[in-house]
Amino acid sequence: MKKAIIAVLGHDRPGIISAVTGILFEHGCNIENVSQTILQTEFSGTFIVALPPKLSGSKLLDHLKAGLEPLGLDVFLRDVGHIDDIQPFPESEPFIITTMGPDQKGLVARITGIIAHFGVNVTNLQAVFKGGDDPNNNIMIYEVDVPKHVDQHQLDRALREKAEELHLDISIQHRNIFSAINRI
């Protein structure tokens, strides 16, 4: 089965998801994954869809552009390939890394540099920067998959050293522990 990843960007307004999913439904696509967020006033949505056998990615893109251009939305599409072509990531454990501290340029780059050095995959990132020195105004939450072959003590030490250098408070927890502690 052919798959495509679709990115939709533009000024937020009601009805964007309805418009996108309506076009996908109309053309026989099955939505497999969706990630959508609002960044300040801008909509950002990413969809992975399975295409019906007779629909090409380029034809779907034409339909999406025609339907979403009146809403002022930009659309991008990349063919992902067939299910059999997708290579799995190495076996891993899910962790949540949270940092809080004063705003400064390069925080995300410097933390993710450590994460990447250890071959850890960032699966979700949320960063809220309101500026200033109040650590409660500048929070980053990284959801990561740590491959089982990675020395977690070395990763932990490297992240804590970088956090100290950047004057950040850091928390590193297995996702199961994070979820249990933060359950409402």
Q: Is the pLDDT of residue 178 over 80?
A: no
Confidence of residue 104 (pLDDT cuts 50, 70, 90): confident
Q: Which residue has the tokens 């050293």?
A: 161
Task: Quick: pLDDT tens for 59-83.
Answer: 999 999 999 999 999 999 999 876 5
Q: How far is the C-alpha of 114 from the C-alpha of 132, rounded, in Å?
A: 24
**Residue-level pLDDT at 85:** 55
**Which CATH code, of 3.30.70.260, 3.40.50.1950, 1.10.10.410, 1.10.420.10, is assigned to 2-85?**
3.30.70.260
Return the ∠ at Cα 92 (arms to 89 and 94), rounded to 5°.
115
Q: How far is the C-alpha of 12 from the C-alpha of 15, rounded, in Å?
A: 9
Is domain 92-181 annotated with CATH 3.40.50.720? no
Name every residue whose Cβ is closer than 8 Å to that of residue 4 and which is 6 or more positions away in sequence. Answer: 48, 49, 51, 57, 60, 77, 78, 79, 80
Q: Where are the domains of the chain?
A: 2-85, 92-181
**Residue-level pLDDT at 109:** 92
Q: How far is the C-alpha of 34 from the C-alpha of 66, rounded, in Å?
A: 21
Give the torsion through C-alpha atoms of 181, 115, 3, 32, to 10 deg. Answer: 10
Q: How far is the C-alpha of 106 from the C-alpha of 72, rounded, in Å?
A: 31
Task: Quick: pLDDT tens for 162-175.
Answer: 999 999 999 998 87
Q: How far is the C-alpha of 4 from the C-alpha of 7, rounded, in Å?
A: 10
Angle between helices 57-68 and 16-26 (to 10 degrees): 140
Helix (H, G, I), strand (E, B) or coil at 104: coil
Confidence of residue 117 (pLDDT cuts 50, 70, 90): very high
Confidence of residue 7 (pLDDT cuts 50, 70, 90): very high
Confidence of residue 107 (pLDDT cuts 50, 70, 90): confident
